[in-house]
Structure 1
Amino acid sequence: MTKTIKFFLFLAITFSFEAQARTETLKDCSHLESDHPQKAKKYLMCLDSNIELLERNRQTWITKLIMDTEELEKNTGNTQLMPIIQRGILNQSRYMDDACKWRYLKELPNSTRAAKVFKRCKISFLQLHIKELQTNF
Structure 2
Amino acid sequence: MTKITSGILIAGFTLSVIANEDITLKDCSKHESSHPEKAKKFLMCLDNNINLLERHRQTWITKLLLDTKKYQADTGNTQILPIMERALRNHEEYMEDSCRWRYLLDMPNATRSATAYKQCKITLLKAHISELQSSKILKDNVNAN
TM-score by length of 1: 0.89
Q: CA deviation at 1:13?
A: 3.7
Shift of the 18–32 alpha-carbon distance from structure 1 to 2, 3 Å rule, reads farther
2:15 corresponding residue in structure 1: 17
Deviations 1:4-40 (A, max 9, x none): 9955962x54443343332431111111111112210
2:33 corresponding residue in structure 1: 34
Tell me how far apart the structure 2 counterparts of residues 19 and 54 of structure 1 sit (CA, whole Å).
16
Tell me the SS of whatever aligns to 2:46. Answer: helix
Tell me how far apart the structure 1 counterparts of residues 93 and 86 of structure 2 sit (CA, whole Å).
10
**Contact 2:8–2:70 under 8 Å retained in 1:** no
Tell me how far apart the structure 2 counterparts of residues 114 and 108 of structure 1 sit (CA, whole Å).
6
TM-score by length of 2: 0.85
1:45 corresponding residue in structure 2: 44
Q: CA deviation at 1:104?
A: 0.2
Tell me the SS of whatever aligns to 1:133. Answer: helix
2:83 corresponding residue in structure 1: 84
Query: How many residues get paired?
Result: 135
1:89-100 equivalences under 5 Å are 89-100=88-99
2:100 corresponding residue in structure 1: 101
Tell me how far apart the structure 2 counterparts of residues 89 and 36 of structure 1 sit (CA, whole Å).
38
Q: Which amino acid aligns with 1:98?
A: D
Unpaired runs of at least 5, structure 2? 137-145
**Contact 2:49–2:122 under 8 Å retained in 1:** yes
Q: Which amino acid aligns with 2:78?
A: T
Deviations 1:51-93 (A, max 9, x none): 0000000000000010001001111110000111001100110
**Contact 2:12–2:67 under 8 Å retained in 1:** no
Give percent identity, aligned residues only: 52
Q: Which amino acid aligns with 2:15?
A: F
